[in-house]
C-alpha cells in the first residue's frame, strides 16, 4: 500500500514529531508499504494532490498543525483515509479549556481551572489559589509549562505563555501519582505509571530524554484503581468523539483519579508511552502501526 507519512510541521514539538516519524517509517517499510514522506512546513500547498496519489496517510504531527484537525480536514477533502480522530474531535481535545468543558459536562473529574488570554489592567490575574500549573491552552509536550508556587512567579509564567501567542490555561496543582492510559480501538490499554527523575513534574526533558523519567507498565496499582482509570479514559475518548486511538493523562490524589488532558496523536518515539502500553498488551511496535492503519481504513466515510 502507498502510505503518505506526514510529520514535522511548525509547532514547538517539531523535533519530537520527526523523531517518531523515523520509527514509524521503518515499521511501515517492514510491513511492506511504500512510504512517501511529507512535511507541511515545506510542502503545505501540495497536501491535497499528494494525498490523492496515496492509499493512506499516517499522521505523526503534534500541536498545530495536526492535532488541531487542520490536516485531517484537508485529507478528507482529498478522499484519503488516515489514522486517528477527525477534525472536530481533534480540535476539541487540543484546546485544553474546551476539552475541560466537555469533561465537566460528562462528569469526568478534572482539576479546577481558569483560562486567561491577557495581562489584567489591575489586580491578581487569576482567582485560583497557588500552587498552580500555567500552560499554553493549545500546546503539548509540556512546552511553556510552569509550576507556580509563589505569587512573584505567577505573572512571569503567564507572560511566557502570552509571548508564545497563546492563551494560558491555569490549572490547580494536584500532588499525587501520575498515570496514563491509552485507548486503542474500543479497548483501554494497560496503565503506565510515571515518576520524573528530575524536577517536580513530567516536563519536556523528562518526556523525551533517555532516562528522564521512570515509566512502569503495567502500573503497579491495585485492580480497582486500574479499572476506574481505564473506564475514565474510555469515557473521555467517547465524550470528545475520538476515533481509533488516544492517550489520557491522570493525576491520582488520595486514591481519586483526575483527568488532565487527552492526546489524539500520542507520541511514537522510542521512549513514548503508548507504544510501551501496546507492548504490555502484546502488540509490538509494528503490530501497533498495522492496527492503527486497519482501524483507520475502517472509518465510516
Measured CA to CA in angstroms, residue 124 lies from 129, 130, 151, 158 at distances of 11, 12, 9, 12
**Least confident segment among 58-67, 104-113, 221-230:** 58-67
Q: What is the mean pLDDT of residues 105-122?
A: 89
Is the predicted pLDDT of residue 116 greater than 70, yes or no? yes
Q: pLDDT (tens digit, 9 = 90+) per residue, 50-60?
A: 999 999 999 99
pTM to 2 decimals? 0.91
Residue 10, domain extent? 2-82
If pLDDT is split at 50, 70 and 90, which confidence band does 41 have? very high
87 found inside a domain: no
**What CATH number does the domain containing 221 carry?**
3.30.470.20
Q: Is residue 20 part of a domain?
A: yes
Q: Which residue has the higher pLDDT, 140 or 185?
A: 185
Mean pLDDT of 192-202: 74
Distance CA 288, CA 292 (A): 6
Residue where the block lists cell 488516515: 82
User: What is the grid cell recorded at 43?
Assistant: 510542502
Whole-angstrom distance, CA of residue 148 vs CA of residue 204: 17
155, 119 in Cβ contact below 8 A?
yes
Do 127 and 25 have their domain in common?
no
In contact, 167 and 147? CB cutoff 8 Å:
no
Nearest to 161 by CA among 213, 103, 97: 97
Q: Which residues does 201 contact at the CB level (< 8 Å), separation at least 6?
A: 133, 142, 145, 147
Q: Is there a single domain that holds both residue 272 and residue 228?
A: yes
The residues near 206 (Cβ < 8 Å, ≥ 6 apart) are 196, 197, 198, 199, 212, 213
One domain for residues 194 and 124: no
Rounded mean pLDDT, 276-290: 96
What does the pLDDT average to over 243-249? 98
**104 and 223 together in one domain:** yes
- Domain with residue 36: its CATH number is 3.40.50.20
98 and 217: one domain? Answer: yes
Query: How many residues appear in the chain?
Result: 301
CATH code (residue 146): 3.30.1490.20
Active site residues: 13, 141, 208, 247, 249, 261, 263, 267
Number of domains in the chain: 3
Query: Residue 96: its pLDDT value, please?
Result: 96
60 in the same domain as 185: no
Amino acid at each position: 500500500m502507498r502510505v503518505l507519512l506526514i510529520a514535522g510541521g511548525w509547532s514547538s514539538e517539531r523535533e519530537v514529531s520527526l523523531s517518531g516519524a523515523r520509527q514509524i517509517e521503518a515499521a511501515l517499510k517492514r510491513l511492506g508499504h511504500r512510504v512517501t514522506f511529507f512535511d507541511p512546513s515545506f510542502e503545505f500547498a501540495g497536501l491535497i494532490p499528494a494525498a490523492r496519489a496515496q492509499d493512506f496517510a499516517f499522521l505523526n504531527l503534534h500541536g498545530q498543525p495536526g492535532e488541531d484537525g487542520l490536516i485531517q480536514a484537508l485529507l478528507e477533502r482529498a478522499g484519503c483515509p488516515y489514522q486517528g480522530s477527525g477534525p472536530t474531535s481533534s480540535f476539541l481535545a487540543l484546546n485544553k479549556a474546551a476539552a475541560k468543558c466537555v469533561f465537566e459536562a460528562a462528569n469526568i473529574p478534572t482539576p479546577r481551572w481558569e483560562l486567561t488570554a491577557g495581562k489584567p489592567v489591575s489586580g491578581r490575574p487569576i482567582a485560583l489559589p497557588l500552587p498552580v500549573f500555567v500552560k499554553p491552552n493549545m500546546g503539548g509536550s509540556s512546552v511553556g509549562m510552569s509550576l507556580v508556587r509563589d505569587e512573584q512567579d505567577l505573572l512571569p509564567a503567564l507572560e511566557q505563555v502570552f509571548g508564545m501567542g497563546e492563551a494560558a490555561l491555569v490549572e490547580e496543582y494536584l500532588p499525587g501519582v501520575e498515570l496514563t492510559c491509552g485507548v486503542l480501538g474500543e479497548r483501554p490499554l494497560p496503565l503506565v505509571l510515571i515518576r520524573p527523575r528530575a524536577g517536580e513534574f513530567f516536563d519536556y526533558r523528562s518526556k523525551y530524554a533517555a532516562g528522564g523519567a521512570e515509566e512502569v507498565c503495567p502500573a503497579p496499582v491495585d485492580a480497582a484503581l486500574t479499572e476506574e482509570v481505564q473506564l475514565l479514559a474510555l469515557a473521555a475518548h467517547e465524550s470528545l468523539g475520538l476515533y481509533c486511538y488516544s492517550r489520557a493523562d491522570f493525576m491520582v490524589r488520595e486514591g481519586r483519579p483526575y483527568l488532565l488532558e487527552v492526546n489524539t496523536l500520542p507520541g511514537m518515539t522510542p521512549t513514548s508511552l503508548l507504544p510501551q502500553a501496546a507492548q504490555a498488551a502484546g502488540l509490538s511496535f509494528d503490530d501497533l502501526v498495522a492496527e492503527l492503519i486497519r482501524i483507520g481504513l475502517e472509518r465510516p466515510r
